[in-house]
């Protein structure tokens, strides 16, 4: 007897004839060590040092006062224009993925377009996404490239969240860093296939959030009042707040089945993937995730938070720039990218990258 099982259609996406041709990451030069801020926390030094060891906290990059997401992107784009790695005329779309836009309106991508006086025949598009923002941004770029008149898309991921994290919040402050990345995506004739699996769950929308500052709860004197949570962290409603337990459980339970589904859909086996370039929340979570996925830890780098901090959607391109870098300019790797967090949003992509024109980090 046959039993018919109805299987939910998964959010499987497939793209062809698109390629990443360059990745540039821009980091602020200012470096803050975990120890520099340890005295701010309402916890004994010994416990903070234990946290540092477990999470892999060491050093993070944060902007100087007043520097915004667009400043980092403009610095990076200027570098590419000056070095003739990108031609202004060639840009058909400018995508900006950020949760820290310069203004509520206009879109930051339009501000950047205006700064450089780019041609008017183009699409500027801001996307409000965080930890999975690189996956979302790439998907958007691939969809735009299906259009005949769009040949080159510039994807910017930028976040400057350090100003809205309480310095006395040991839950978030040690890990949050700032940064930006610029990825160039173009049409290709090499028949590359790209596979994506994506999920969202708005019921977990408040697991990571900033309560005040939007229309629901405008900033006021009241929202600026500092309160203490159960663990002794001090923050106001203007600050970012993260429910660490929810996020940990979410990542451990949802990401492995997502990746498994992607293997099945793409018919690409775990062993055929060279590197797992994941979002970087902290070392603890990534090592647990690697173990659960049965992936050797050296194939799944977890060294971004300790060196630079977690700049939300920037972590995946930063991970690629830092850990693969130049190698991607003359070698070919099959990568599994995965981003997970704010939204809640989680997504994974299997993509081949090779012969990039550039793959590096510059400091502003």
Partner 1 sequence: MENFNEEIAEILEVDAVNMDDHLASFDCWDSLTILSILALASENYNVTISAEEINDAVSVVGLKKLIQSKVQ
- The residues that touch partner 1, with contacts defined as CB under 8 A, are 43, 47, 50-51, 54, 170-171, 230-231, 243-246, 248-249, 252-253, 284, 288, 291-292
Which of 46, 117 has the CB closer to partner 1? 46
Cα 17 → chain centroid = 24
Helices 108-116/69-82 angle, 10° precision: 40
Which of 114, 232 has the CB closer to partner 1? 232
Which of 24, 251 has the CB closer to partner 1? 251
Q: Are 160 and 130 in contact (CB under 8 A)?
A: no
Q: How far is the CB of 79 from partner 1 (least distance, A)?
A: 39
Q: Classify the phi-psi angles of 312: left when phi > 0, otherwise alpha if psi is within -120 to 50, otherwise beta.
A: left
Which of 244, 325 has the CB closer to partner 1? 244
Within the chain, residue ranges assigned H as helices are 34-38, 45-55, 69-82, 108-116, 133-145, 244-266, 283-293, 304-308, 315-323, 327-330
Which of 265, 284 has the CB closer to partner 1? 284
Q: How far is the CB of 237 from partner 1 (least distance, A)?
A: 20
Give the CA distances from residue 160 to residues 63, 109, 164, 315, in Å, rounded to whole numbers and listed in that order. Answer: 7, 15, 9, 13
Angle at CA of residue 251, ends 248 and 253, nearest 5°? 105
Tokens of 74: 């403009």
Distance CA 203, CA 170 (A): 26
Q: How far is the CB of 48 from partner 1 (least distance, A)?
A: 9
Q: Is 278 helix (H, G, I), strand (E, B) or coil?
A: strand
Which of 246, 307 has the CB closer to partner 1? 246
Q: How far is the CB of 163 from partner 1 (least distance, A)?
A: 24
């Amino acid at each position: 007897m046959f039993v018919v099982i109805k299987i939910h259609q998964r959010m499987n996406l497939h793209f062809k004839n698109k390629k990443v041709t360059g990745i540039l990451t821009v980091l602020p030069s200012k470096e803050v060590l975990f120890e520099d801020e340890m005295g701010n926390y309402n916890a004994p030094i010994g416990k903070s040092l234990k946290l540092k060891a477990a999470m892999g906290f060491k050093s993070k990059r944060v902007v100087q006062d007043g520097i915004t997401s667009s400043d980092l992107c403009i610095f990076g784009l200027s570098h590419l224009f000056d070095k003739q790695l990108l031609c202004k005329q060639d840009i058909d779309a400018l995508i900006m993925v950020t949760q820290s836009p310069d203004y509520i309106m206009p879109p930051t991508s339009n501000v950047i377009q205006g700064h450089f006086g780019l041609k008017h025949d183009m699409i500027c598009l801001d996307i409000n996404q965080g930890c999975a923002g690189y996956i979302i941004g790439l998907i958007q770029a691939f969809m735009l490239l299906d259009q005949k008149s769009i040949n080159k898309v510039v994807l910017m991921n930028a976040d400057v969240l350090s100003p809205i994290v309480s310095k006395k919040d040991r839950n978030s402050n040690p890990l949050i860093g700032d940064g930006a990345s610029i990825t160039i995506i173009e049409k290709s004739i090499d028949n590359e296939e790209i596979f994506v699996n994506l999920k969202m769950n708005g019921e977990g929308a408040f697991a990571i959030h900033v309560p005040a500052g939007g229309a629901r709860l405008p900033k006021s004197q009241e929202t600026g009042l500092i309160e203490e949570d159960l663990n002794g962290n001090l923050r106001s409603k203007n600050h970012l707040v993260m429910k660490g337990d929810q996020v940990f459980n979410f990542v451990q339970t949802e990401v492995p089945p997502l990746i498994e589904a992607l293997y099945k859909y793409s018919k690409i086996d775990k062993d055929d993937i060279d590197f797992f370039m994941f979002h970087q929340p902290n070392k603890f979570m990534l090592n647990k995730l690697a173990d659960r996925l049965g992936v050797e830890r050296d194939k799944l780098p977890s060294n971004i938070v300790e060196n630079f901090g977690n700049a939300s959607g920037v972590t995946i391109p930063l991970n690629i720039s830092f850990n693969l870098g130049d190698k991607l300019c003359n070698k070919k790797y099959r990568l599994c990218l995965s981003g997970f967090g704010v939204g809640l949003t989680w997504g994974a992509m299997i993509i081949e990258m090779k012969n990039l024109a550039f793959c590096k980090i510059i400091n502003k």
